Amino acid sequence: MFTTPTLDYHLLAPILIVLGGALVGVLVEGFVSRAYRARVQFTLALITVAVALGWVISIRTKTSQIAAVDSVSIDGFGLFLQGTILALSFVALLFFAQNDHFAPQASALPGSEEESLAITSGVQMSEIYPLVLFAISGMLLFPVAKDLITLFVGLEVLSIPLYIITGLARRRRLLSQEASLKYFLLGAYSSAFFVFGSAFLYGFSGSLSLAAIGQAAGLSGTNHIFLYIGVIFISVGLLFKVGAAPFHSWTPDVYQGAPTPVTGFMAACTKVAAFGALYRIFIVSFTPIQSEWRPVLTAVAILTMVGGAIAVIAQRDVKRSLAYSSITHAGFLLVGVIAFSGIGLSATVFYLVVYGFATIGAFGVATLVQDSRGEVGDLNRWAGLAKKSPRVATAFTLFLMSFGGIPLTAGFIAKFSIFTAAYNSGDVALVVVGVLSSAIALFFYLRVVLLMFFKEPIDDTVTVAIPSFLVGSGIAICFVITLVLGVYPNLLYNLAQTMVG
């Protein structure tokens, strides 16, 4: 017997709009003449994301468990994260406007004749925009999925386009393609782990629905061994995506290799989507066995915070160091998950927003510091940046201070609320470790500030590009949000609490 599925298109519209935009983008690639293509694609992507964001805002009070039969849960938590992903994507897309970040032709081998031909004839890549839209649609699905199949579909739809666009850097293409391959291989493994875990959970509960798994886990007297194996494998898959230790090793390579605007985009948005899914699955399915997984996750969080903070000190490359810093932040976010409470939940989503904007802004600044061969990654060559462009150096300083959690930046409020949630749940050890690793990471952030402001420029070839209007406004948006949420957090925190709590 087959019943026609009921689909509430009104509530699913944000995902569908982005998917539709991506499909139109594919057509644009085929039919619009080369001269206009990139511009049309960019505008299309920006409008798509803006419309979807507007739609999410208009349905922000709706909740439905049966929007797509029984596999998508539209609720405050999901909608807040969808809105966050779309807002972050919108800002991240502004940095895509400079075309010289992307390889002229993805299929051309690095350093080949074909490639130089493509460069001289002015070939421009623009497939990247539909690919980004596909990734966004997967990210939108990921935190609202309520069964394992939908979750897996979301995971793959968001991952596969990212594997491709990681390899599209215009300069240092070998590094970029190596990063892409690494990301793809490790990502495939982690997906396999995820599927394998799903199978065990299905074997344990007889259902793929997260809620049914949660019910089965709550029954006493059953053999939980399959459940535990399932939880471990699923967690490995998700922790890989959020970049938590010891599954983080791809992060520095991929963040460094990918074109910088792409790095900003995926560092911010992937983390939001993955933490959304992680939180949902742990709450809905694994609440009954929290005494088992919380100690394990605590160990992971400590390893992630401390490991990331120590590793970041030794970094010399700006993108690699931001990658390690993002690992540390994944650790802090895990603390919010472990707190496992209403405060923890709203603290986590607030943290995601704050971290996302500061990250996109920081990578945006990284695109501006250039020499004749493109971006300058080596931090030592950033010395004296404040002399060359006080504004850019100030913006970067603010983002670093937000990462470090210095008061009057949004990062402080975020860190404070995460620690408060953890303290409230009795995880005092996590608070202490978190505070100490903040202190370690601060050493790095302050060294960069010192380098930019107090050191004489050692390298005159390094210049700060004058940002185009779009890039400038992208950095400005991130700057304002980081500052305003630090001074007056009510604006967002109240919304987060009412929607999520």
Partner 1 sequence: MNLLTLTIFLPLVGTFALAIVPRENTQAIKFIALATSIITLVSSLLILTKYKFGHAGFQLVASHSWFKVFGVKYAVGIDGLALVLILLTTVLVPIVIVGGWNEAEGGRWSVKTFYMLILILETSLVAVFAATDVFLFYVIFEAMLVPVYFLIGGFGRGDRAAAALKFLLYSLFGGLLMLAAVIGIFIIGVHNGTLSFDVTTLSHMKISHNTQDWLFLGFFIAFAIKAPLFPFHTWLPDAAKSATPGTSILVLGVLDKVGTYGMIRFCLTLFPEATKTFAPYIIVLSVISIIYGAFLAIGQKDLNSLIAFTSISHFGFIVLGIFALTSQGITGATLYMVNHGFSTAALFLVGGWMIQRRKSTQVEDFGGLQRITPVMAWCFFIAGLSALALPGLSSFVSEILVLIGTFTRYPVAAVIGTLGIILAALYVLILVQRSLHGPLKAGNEDTPDLNWREKLAIAPVIAALVFFGFYPKPVIHLINPMTSSVMAQAGITDPTPMAGR
CA dist 327 → 145, 178, 302, 321, 390 (Å): 25, 21, 11, 10, 29
CA distance 201 to 147: 11
Contact between 391 and partner 1 by CB under 8 A: the answer reads no
* Torsion (CA) 178, 179, 181, 187 in degrees, nearest 10: 160
Contact between 493 and partner 1 by CB under 8 A: the answer reads yes
Name the residue nearer to partner 1 (CB basis): 225 or 408: 408
Contact between 429 and partner 1 by CB under 8 A: the answer reads no
Name the residue nearer to partner 1 (CB basis): 36 or 488: 488
Residue among 314, 450, 458, 484 that touches partner 1 (CB under 8 A): 450
CA distance 188 to 147: 20
Name the residue nearer to partner 1 (CB basis): 226 or 453: 453
CA distance 190 to 184: 10
Stretch that binds partner 1, among 193-201, 276-284, 431-439, 458-466 (CB under 8 A): 431-439
Beta strands in 50-152 (DSSP E): none
Residue among 413, 471, 477, 500 that touches partner 1 (CB under 8 A): 413
Residue among 27, 117, 439, 484 that touches partner 1 (CB under 8 A): 439
- Report strand pairing: 369-371 vs 463-464: antiparallel
Do 440 and 311 touch, CB atoms closer than 8 A? no
Stretch that binds partner 1, among 58-66, 217-225, 282-290, 401-409 (CB under 8 A): 401-409
Provide the phi-psi class of 97: left if phi over 0, else alpha when psi is between -120 and 50, else beta: alpha
Name the residue nearer to partner 1 (CB basis): 97 or 495: 495
| Token pair recorded at residue 231 | 């939880």
Name the residue nearer to partner 1 (CB basis): 278 or 343: 343
Residue among 401, 462, 471, 475 that touches partner 1 (CB under 8 A): 401
Other Cβ atoms less than 10 A from the Cβ of 335: the count is: 29
Rounded least distance, CB 420 to partner 1, Å: 5
Name the residue nearer to partner 1 (CB basis): 49 or 496: 496
Residue among 124, 207, 420, 463 that touches partner 1 (CB under 8 A): 420
Contact between 36 and partner 1 by CB under 8 A: the answer reads no
Residue among 194, 204, 293, 412 that touches partner 1 (CB under 8 A): 412
Residue among 111, 443, 473, 480 that touches partner 1 (CB under 8 A): 443
Residue among 206, 454, 458, 466 that touches partner 1 (CB under 8 A): 454
Do 85 and 277 touch, CB atoms closer than 8 A? no
Name the residue nearer to partner 1 (CB basis): 190 or 417: 417
Give the number of residues in contact with partner 1, rule: CB under 8 A: 35
CA distance 449 to 77: 36
Q: Considering only residues 336 through 365, tell me which ones interact with partner 1, judged by CB under 8 A.
A: 346
CA distance 460 to 381: 9
Stretch that binds partner 1, among 93-101, 264-272, 325-333, 430-438 (CB under 8 A): 430-438
Residue whose C-alpha is closest to residue 238's, from 184, 193, 301, 173: 193
Rounded least distance, CB 416 to partner 1, Å: 7
As separate numbers, helices (DSSP H) first and strands (DSSP E) second, the chain gives 20, 3
| Token pair recorded at residue 427 | 């995880």
| Token pair recorded at residue 194 | 């995820």
Contact between 407 and partner 1 by CB under 8 A: the answer reads yes
CA distance 169 to 178: 11
Residue among 431, 465, 476, 483 that touches partner 1 (CB under 8 A): 431
Contact between 417 and partner 1 by CB under 8 A: the answer reads yes
CA distance 422 to 351: 14
The phi and psi torsions of 375 (rounded to 5 degrees) equal -65, 150
Residue numbers at the binding site for partner 1 (CB under 8 A): 346, 401, 404, 406-408, 412-413, 416-417, 419-420, 423-424, 428, 431-432, 435-436, 438-439, 442-443, 446-447, 450, 453-455, 488-490, 493-494, 497
